[in-house]
Amino acid sequence: MKNLADRITIDPQQCGGRPCIRGMRIRVIDVLDLLANGLSHDEIIKELPDLEREDIKACLHFASHRFNHPILAA
């Protein structure tokens, strides 16, 4: 099985360089928005059938690490 981080791809030629899932045109933010709107993992997969459960976990992992940077005050 692929590492979760390997499921997120960034290609400047695709979706404006925004993080996507496995080279598809499904952006990480699209999955996060669906989660934020209360959809379950099963509902998201039904909405986006090319996704796998591990892709949803990878989106959450990606967001978690993206926001886990210390903020230094001047």
Sequence ranges of the domains in the chain = 4-66
- Rounded distance between C-alpha atoms, residue 4 and residue 39, angstroms: 21
Q: What pLDDT is recorded for position 67?
A: 78
The answer to whether 41 touches 56, Cβ cutoff 8 Å, is yes
Query: How deeply is 63 buried, as exposed, middle or buried, from its count of CB atoms within 10 A (0-12, 13-18, 19+)?
Result: middle
Class of 4-66 per CATH? mainly alpha
Write out the chain's pLDDT in tens, 74 residues: 458 889 999 999 999 999 999 999 999 999 999 999 999 999 999 999 999 999 999 999 999 888 776 666 66
Q: How far apart are CA 63 and CA 31, in angstroms?
A: 11
Q: What is the pLDDT of residue 2?
A: 56
pLDDT for the residue numbered 66 = 81
pLDDT value for 32: 97
